[in-house]
Amino acid sequence: MKQAYKEMLTSGKINEQEYIIIGALQMHPNATSRDLARYTELERSSVTGRLNGLEKKNIVDGTNHVTCSITTKTVKAYRLK
């Protein structure tokens, strides 16, 4: 994982769950919150909350939309900026 993200974790700018999600996004760009919950084994509600925080911190972009393979609804897909 990028050194910058490790430094952000150490400095307290991001928390451990955000760090885990960033790692998952590095391996799976354009992932949905449901995907990220599956990849990280975090609760989906936790993932969604952390993604909102990462968007506010300008680390993650959630402006892309895809069709969910499970629900067929249009959902946000996230990627690192």
Question: Which pair of tokens denotes residue 79?
Answer: 């990627």
Task: Say whether pLDDT at 1 is over 70.
Answer: no
Q: Are 54 and 22 in contact (CB under 8 A)?
A: yes
Amino acid at 79: R
| Prediction pTM value | 0.91
Q: What is the pLDDT of residue 70?
A: 81
Ordered domains of the chain (ranges, CATH): 3-80 (1.10.10.10)
pLDDT tens digits along 34-49: 999 999 999 999 999 9
Partnered with residue 76 across adjacent β-strands are: 65
Helix (H) and strand (E) counts for the chain?
Answer: 4, 2
What 3-state DSSP class applies to 57?
coil
pLDDT band at 69 (very low <50, low <70, confident <90, very high): confident
Q: CB neighbours (10 Å) of residue 51?
A: 22
